[in-house]
Amino acid sequence: MRRENFSAKPIEDHPARWQDAGIAHLYCLGMDAAVETQSQTGWQHELYDLLRENGITQIAYVPDAGHSILIDRSLADPSVHSIALTTEEEGVALIAGADLGGTRAVLLMQSSGVGNCINMLSLIKGARFPFLTLVSMRGDFGEGNPWQFAMGQATEPVLAAMGVVCLRIERSDEVIPTMNAALTMVFKGAQAVAVLLSQRLIGAKPF
């Protein structure tokens, strides 16, 4: 579920990507899959629009299913730099460089990638760079892969130890208010903030 997210197929062609209980229930009722997928993924499109409205022009990521809509939107957006990374810590340094140049960036990653960022976050803390990351959680609500738990459960303590404020989102109606809060904390309050998108929100990957 990683590189294929770069396919040009419309997002709506992949309803099975979103496995949360709400979608599954609606499928059981035989409702129109495309319509329901659109409604369930609407918050991700709103989230992308919010990032853009707030002047974010560099979007960096290691390919990830949980962020696939944001990634696809960034690839299709001629006004942003969509930057695929080999490892998440590259994105931490990229954000610092973007800030030096007076622009805003965001790092999209999975919780396992947080572990790859630890020492690089000393750059953010030491220089007080504004820092915004969206973390799609694994090893969390409903996880079926035992390999994901160590880093998933360590994500918040590790980020907190490096001075990153964590805001956790469990429900789709919390997404926009929480992101507005995060954007204010980062770009007005000069803080480092991680918005954690829980598996309750994005759905656990089936195994």
Which residues of the chain form contacts with another protein (CB under 8 A)? 55, 57-58, 81, 83-87, 89-105, 119-120, 122-123, 126-130, 186-190
The C-alpha atoms of residue 66 and residue 169 are separated, in whole angstroms, by 13
Residue 207 CB, shortest distance to another protein, in Å, is 29
Least separation in angstroms between residue 150's CB and another protein is 23
Name which of 26 and 92 has its Cβ closer to another protein. 92
Instruction: Provide the minimum distance between the beta carbon of 86 and another protein in the complex, in angstroms, as a whole number.
Output: 3
The least distance separating another protein from the CB of residue 118, rounded to whole angstroms, comes to: 11
Q: Nearer to another protein by C-beta: 15 or 113? A: 113
The end-to-end CA distance of the chain, in Å, is 12
Pick 23 or 105: Cβ nearer another protein: 105
Tokens 């930057």 correspond to 83
Picking from 83, 180, 200, the residue whose alpha carbon sits closest to that of residue 137 is 200
Q: State how far the Cα of 38 lies from the Cα of 13, in Å rounded to an integer.
A: 10
In sequence order, which residues have a C-beta less than 8 Å from that of residue 188 and are 6 or more positions away?
A: none
In the complex with another protein, the residue whose CB is nearer, 23 or 194, is 194
Provide the 3-class DSSP secondary structure of residue 137: coil
CA distance 98 to 186: 14
